[in-house]
Chain A
Amino acid sequence: MSQHYPVLLVTVPLLSAFIISGLSWVKKSLCFPVALLALGTSVFCAISLLFRVLDLGIVEYHMGGWMPPWGIAYRVDLLNALVLVVVSSVAFLNLFATHKSVQRDFPEKMGIFYVLYVLFVTGLMGITVTGDVFNLYVLLEIASLTAYALIALGQPDSAPLASLNYVFIGTIGACFYLLGIGYLYIMTGSLNMADIASLLPPIYHSKAVLVAFIFCMVGVCIKMAFFPLHVWLPNAYTFAPNPASSVIAPLMTKVMVYVMIRLVFSVFLPDFSFHVLHIDHAIVWLSCLAIVMGSLLALNQKNIKRMLTYIIVSEIGYMVGGFWLGNRLGMSGAILHILNDAIMTLCLFLAVGNIAYKIRGLDFVHLKGLFRKMPITMAAFVAAGLSVIGVPPTCGFFSKWYLISGAIQAGQYGFMVALLFSSLVNVVLFFRIIEIAYFEPMETHHRVVAMRDVMEEAPLTMLVPLLIVAVSLVAVGIYSGNIVTHIILPVLPKGIG
């Protein structure tokens, strides 16, 4: 059974999507348990797979028994195993946490929501686990289409338009990726990643391979919202309903960063990307721009959710820049940051979801006195904020450590300055909210009111997952050294400094 884990991760949610869609006609209340079961199975498979890969090395699964390069192969090494665990656990926790919110906000569309949710996770996990470039495109589109639909479930006046804009830009991105792999197919005749990697070295200097690289990268950059191709993200994530945005925001862009890393490591080998093309310096400068602009644009916002989306843009800059520094420290930082950013973003969006559930408004003016009303949610929010700022011992500090060390080693001091600038701006961003939530209106000042009278915390099913995520911020931080040594460093190809 255990050798089927790679495919079970993807097929169980896929099949359960159909079951849920059937159930939504018959008995709506069963949709949630089935979805929970499906994603729970995926989490179990992902974690077992991680341990299997730690023991055995790379795990391969050939679909339908067809050998690569003729068949589609799923290939799991430590990098995908890590991302799979992240994707499945985030999706599972979020599903559990947002159930009450879904029940209250769109009860008649609950079945549809869960179908789309489960399909979205299927798509993401497929992207992560596959070893075939075209299969990646297909699953990318599955994830994207379900994301478009999930986003459109928000407020009727703004969500459909935001989603439509995302459709346009996202399709361009995916099509560029398709174009890129088309050129790769012309040059190598293969669609299997490992096969292409073995066939490319003699033709590194051909223009077609260069074009393939550019199209693939630009496509992935559009999908991961790398500045200046990020314009779809703020609207799409802000107007999405909260249960949807807290699964899309932590995962979609991070999985796209994984795709970029996978393309560089396993398709266009690092030899080509770093030594034949000399674009790494330029990309690091672009990332500095992404980080700075993301931070500055976030400063301008008056709505907490929108502010968080611009922080995502900045964080993507961290990962892309860290990766293209080209040394072990920078790449470790980038990969570690995939894990850390997913956790931090999930914590932030879950907290915002809790706030929206109780307060029904997310502009700064609605957040007054929130520390008294929702102390636990705000405590988790503060913890996630500290992680984004980079205060030890939260996980954000450790990825910053690797990224800045990588920048120092590579001599890219501009990147280091951009990272520090972004940390300082994050201090302002988060403490601005903490101030508003903390400094209440003057009337309740000096009146001794017991906390219990004023507290209106979110329900327990929403608080427990939030607390689990907040604790894992620190736990993952403490284990960062181990994670890097055992999971990330072995993934980096030899020959990187």
Chain B
Amino acid sequence: MEIIHSIRPLLAVLVSLCAVPLIASSRKANIREGWTFAAAILKFVIIVSMLPAVLRGSQFTFTLWEFLPGASIGFKVDSLGMLFALVASSLWIITSAYSVGYMRGLKEHSQSRYFCFFALALSATIGVAFSANLLTLYLFYEMLSLATYPLVTHHQDQEARQSGRKYLTYILGTSIGLVLPAMLIVYHLTGSLEFTTHGLLAGEVSKGLVTLLLLMFLFGFAKAAIMPFHAWLPAAMVAPTPVSALLHAVAVVKVGVFSIVRVLTGIFGVEILSSFHLDTVVCYIASFTILVGSLIALSQDELKRRLAFSTISQLSYIVLGVALLSPKGMEGGIAHIAMHAFGKITLFFCAGAIFVGTGKKYISEMVGIGRKMPITMTAFFIGALSVIGLPPTGGFFSKWYLVLGTLQANQWPMLVVLLLSSLLNAAYFLPVVYKAFFCTEQEAMFDNIVQEGPIWCVAPLVLTAVISVFLFFYPDIFFRLAAMAIGM
């Protein structure tokens, strides 16, 4: 495995950071949006430039500065990080386009502030993706929490204030109260914080201590929305939809789940997890969230909240996949990071387009909307298929691998959980689509005139829906990266 020392990982993180003052000082809105797009495209280009080498098995490393031996601010681009970075950076470009349509369509205030903090948040996300050790991960994780606060509370009304409080309480509370001490205990035990191939803690004998650390990390990364620390996610739906879309369907929550995957593979390692039977513990914690999340989603009438609970459920699929410790399961879980991202973002984009076009937020008010916004609702249908895990969408493959993974790991209860959850997913998505398209004349709440949302909103959601279908036919890129990530 070749190690390449290159400044490119740092550049990928810095691109959007440097764009912030440019965005803040632009006088004209078009120039400002121009800077955002320039930064997003540049970031994507830098990341893609590292892709061929990573696919060959090399790793890029760069150490910015060392604080203590074993604790430094360092970057490492391996297949797992590359997968996440690809997803996040490509979706930033698309979401920026969507943001333009949404914010201008609603004539939102403080757009400069919005785009600045968006860029900062993406910088932090790529920072997490490319972290070489726990200290760097923690630094960018906190930076992300702080950068997304102004985005979540963008509307600056009472509701936003309450949600902001909940957001910070859950996210900062767990990261400072659980992750920080766990990180320091790991450093105290091993003298290092680097993510190593076989797990930093390999060889630790104390089962109680390792279990405690595992629980601290699992619940400490509350961005992964594992119950009971999930309540911030539905509350954060007060944010403008592009924020919800990227950050809460892709970046923020995926950072949480990515951190857990990194910690499980790089700090704990497969051997110690299986020898202490901790994999079963994590499986059960994850499956609780999967089932309960889906059940609550069924009861939600507000579309964004339903999508939020669906996300909570789907995130635990990823954790479950990795916790199965079987090759197929882990591959499926890691690839689901990508598949779910494209599917979920489509769904959120549609929700936003509906709001811009008609002002409707509640599912019960969306009867017959398929006649008015057929393109949007078709995209919604495709996104739903991806999340449920049906062909011809990319989500089918990740779910399929997860199912195979449970068989490989002999975890029959998990198989039941997965199948049950798929049924629940179908139960809360398909009726929405059905009601949108097939309804009687009296029930229809909209006239038959086709009037989609603004073009800047509709084009992105079509694009992500198309990508979801594309990934069904060409899933290799993500599955190869996932397979390499678990060392196969």
Interface residues of A (CB under 8 A from B): 386, 389-393, 398, 400-401, 404-405, 408-409, 416, 420, 423-424, 427, 431, 435, 438-440, 442, 445-448, 478, 480-481
A393: B residues at CB distance < 8 A? 73, 139
A480: B residues at CB distance < 8 A? 67
A431/B161 in contact, CB under 8 A? no
B176: A residues at CB distance < 8 A? 389-390, 420, 423-424, 427
The contact of B165 among A390, A435, A447, A448, by CB within 8 Å, is A435
A392/B138 in contact, CB under 8 A? yes
A440/B156 in contact, CB under 8 A? yes
The minimal Cβ–Cβ distance linking A208 to chain B, given in whole angstroms, is 41
The minimal Cβ–Cβ distance linking A449 to chain B, given in whole angstroms, is 9
- Knowing A401-B184, A447-B109 are in contact, say whether A424-B139 is a contact too (CB < 8 A): no
The contact of A420 among B143, B153, B180, B185, by CB within 8 Å, is B180
- Knowing A438-B156, A480-B67 are in contact, say whether A427-B184 is a contact too (CB < 8 A): no
A392: B residues at CB distance < 8 A? 135, 138-139, 142
B109/A445 in contact, CB under 8 A? yes
The minimal Cβ–Cβ distance linking B257 to chain A, given in whole angstroms, is 22
B146/A408 in contact, CB under 8 A? no
Could you give, for residues 151-162 of chain B, a 1 whenever the CB lies within 8 Å of some chain A CB and a 0 otherwise? 001011100110
Could you give, for residues 38-79 of chain B, a 1 whenever the CB lies within 8 Å of some chain A CB and a 0 otherwise? 000000000000000000000000000111100001000000
Could you tell me the distance between the alpha carbons of A480 and B66 in the complex, rounded to whole angstroms?
10
A427/B156 in contact, CB under 8 A? no
- Knowing A405-B187, A435-B165, A480-B67 are in contact, say whether A442-B157 is a contact too (CB < 8 A): yes
**Can you show 24 pairs from A to B with CB atoms below 8 A apart?**
A389-B172, A390-B180, A391-B143, A391-B146, A392-B138, A392-B139, A393-B139, A404-B180, A404-B184, A405-B188, A408-B188, A420-B180, A423-B176, A423-B177, A424-B172, A424-B176, A427-B168, A427-B172, A427-B176, A435-B164, A439-B153, A439-B160, A442-B157, A446-B107
Could you tell me the distance between the alpha carbons of A420 and B180 in the complex, rounded to whole angstroms?
9
Interface centre among B68, B161, B176 (most CB of A within 10 A): B176
B109: A residues at CB distance < 8 A? 445-448
- Knowing A424-B173, A448-B109 are in contact, say whether A409-B188 is a contact too (CB < 8 A): yes
Chain B contacts with A in 354-373, Cβ cutoff 8 A: none
The chain A residue with its CB closest to the CB of B112 is: A451
Q: Is the interface of A mostly helix, strand, loop or mixed?
A: helix
A391/B181 in contact, CB under 8 A? no
**CB-CB nearest 10 A-B residue pairs:** A392-B139, A481-B67, A408-B188, A423-B176, A391-B142, A446-B109, A404-B184, A439-B156, A427-B172, A420-B177
Could you tell me the distance between the alpha carbons of A478 and B64 in the complex, rounded to whole angstroms?
11
The chain A residue with its CB closest to the CB of B176 is: A423
The chain B residue with its CB closest to the CB of A477 is: B67
The minimal Cβ–Cβ distance linking A22 to chain B, given in whole angstroms, is 49
Could you tell me the distance between the alpha carbons of A481 and B135 in the complex, rounded to whole angstroms?
14
The minimal Cβ–Cβ distance linking A482 to chain B, given in whole angstroms, is 9
A442: B residues at CB distance < 8 A? 157
The chain A residue with its CB closest to the CB of B156 is: A439
- Knowing A405-B188, A438-B156, A442-B157 are in contact, say whether A478-B65 is a contact too (CB < 8 A): yes
Interface centre among B135, B142, B157, B187 (most CB of A within 10 A): B142
Could you tell me the distance between the alpha carbons of A481 and B156 in the complex, rounded to whole angstroms?
40
A423: B residues at CB distance < 8 A? 176-177, 180
A409: B residues at CB distance < 8 A? 188
In the complex, besides A391-B146, A392-B139, A481-B68, 10 extra interface pairs with C-beta distance below 8 angstroms are: A391-B142, A398-B67, A404-B181, A408-B181, A420-B176, A420-B177, A431-B165, A438-B153, A439-B160, A481-B66
B172: A residues at CB distance < 8 A? 389, 424, 427
A447: B residues at CB distance < 8 A? 109
Could you tell me the distance between the alpha carbons of A439 and B108 in the complex, rounded to whole angstroms?
16
Could you tell me the distance between the alpha carbons of A445 and B109 in the complex, rounded to whole angstroms?
8
Could you tell me the distance between the alpha carbons of A400 and B161 in the complex, rounded to whole angstroms?
29
A400: B residues at CB distance < 8 A? 180
The chain B residue with its CB closest to the CB of A485 is: B68
Could you give, for residues 165-179 of chain B, a 1 whenever the CB lies within 8 Å of some chain A CB and a 0 otherwise? 100100011001100
The contact of A408 among B66, B107, B157, B184, by CB within 8 Å, is B184
The chain A residue with its CB closest to the CB of B140 is: A392
B181/A431 in contact, CB under 8 A? no
The chain B residue with its CB closest to the CB of A442 is: B157
A416: B residues at CB distance < 8 A? 181
The minimal Cβ–Cβ distance linking B174 to chain A, given in whole angstroms, is 10
The chain A residue with its CB closest to the CB of B106 is: A446
Could you tell me the distance between the alpha carbons of A405 and B70 in the complex, rounded to whole angstroms?
14
The chain A residue with its CB closest to the CB of B161 is: A439
A431: B residues at CB distance < 8 A? 165, 168
B107: A residues at CB distance < 8 A? 446
The chain B residue with its CB closest to the CB of A404 is: B184
A445: B residues at CB distance < 8 A? 109, 155-157
A440: B residues at CB distance < 8 A? 156
A435: B residues at CB distance < 8 A? 161, 164-165
The chain A residue with its CB closest to the CB of B173 is: A424
The minimal Cβ–Cβ distance linking B323 to chain A, given in whole angstroms, is 27
The minimal Cβ–Cβ distance linking B263 to chain A, given in whole angstroms, is 17
The minimal Cβ–Cβ distance linking B454 to chain A, given in whole angstroms, is 19
The minimal Cβ–Cβ distance linking B334 to chain A, given in whole angstroms, is 27
The chain B residue with its CB closest to the CB of A447 is: B109
B164: A residues at CB distance < 8 A? 435
B67: A residues at CB distance < 8 A? 398, 480-481
Could you tell me the distance between the alpha carbons of A392 and B142 in the complex, rounded to whole angstroms?
8
The minimal Cβ–Cβ distance linking A381 to chain B, given in whole angstroms, is 14
The chain A residue with its CB closest to the CB of B177 is: A420
The chain B residue with its CB closest to the CB of A416 is: B181
A391: B residues at CB distance < 8 A? 142-143, 146
The chain B residue with its CB closest to the CB of A445 is: B156
Could you tell me the distance between the alpha carbons of A386 and B173 in the complex, rounded to whole angstroms?
14
B143: A residues at CB distance < 8 A? 391
The minimal Cβ–Cβ distance linking B31 to chain A, given in whole angstroms, is 15
The chain B residue with its CB closest to the CB of A436 is: B161
B135: A residues at CB distance < 8 A? 392
The minimal Cβ–Cβ distance linking A162 to chain B, given in whole angstroms, is 34
Could you tell me the distance between the alpha carbons of A480 and B72 in the complex, rounded to whole angstroms?
12
The minimal Cβ–Cβ distance linking A191 to chain B, given in whole angstroms, is 40
The chain A residue with its CB closest to the CB of B189 is: A408
B177: A residues at CB distance < 8 A? 420, 423-424
A404: B residues at CB distance < 8 A? 180-181, 184
B187: A residues at CB distance < 8 A? 405
Could you give, for residues 102-121 of chain B, a 1 whenever the CB lies within 8 Å of some chain A CB and a 0 otherwise? 00000111000000000000
Could you tell me the distance between the alpha carbons of A448 and B68 in the complex, rounded to whole angstroms?
48
Could you tell me the distance between the alpha carbons of A392 and B127 in the complex, rounded to whole angstroms?
13
The minimal Cβ–Cβ distance linking B64 to chain A, given in whole angstroms, is 10
The minimal Cβ–Cβ distance linking B438 to chain A, given in whole angstroms, is 38
B160: A residues at CB distance < 8 A? 439
A424: B residues at CB distance < 8 A? 172-173, 176-177
A478: B residues at CB distance < 8 A? 65
Interface centre among B68, B108, B135 (most CB of A within 10 A): B68
Could you tell me the distance between the alpha carbons of A400 and B164 in the complex, rounded to whole angstroms?
26
Could you tell me the distance between the alpha carbons of A440 and B155 in the complex, rounded to whole angstroms?
11
Could you tell me the distance between the alpha carbons of A203 and B102 in the complex, rounded to whole angstroms?
79
The minimal Cβ–Cβ distance linking B389 to chain A, given in whole angstroms, is 38
Could you tell me the distance between the alpha carbons of A110 and B187 in the complex, rounded to whole angstroms?
53
B156/A408 in contact, CB under 8 A? no
B65: A residues at CB distance < 8 A? 478
Could you tell me the distance between the alpha carbons of A390 and B184 in the complex, rounded to whole angstroms?
14
The minimal Cβ–Cβ distance linking B185 to chain A, given in whole angstroms, is 6
Could you tell me the distance between the alpha carbons of A45 and B346 in the complex, rounded to whole angstroms?
64
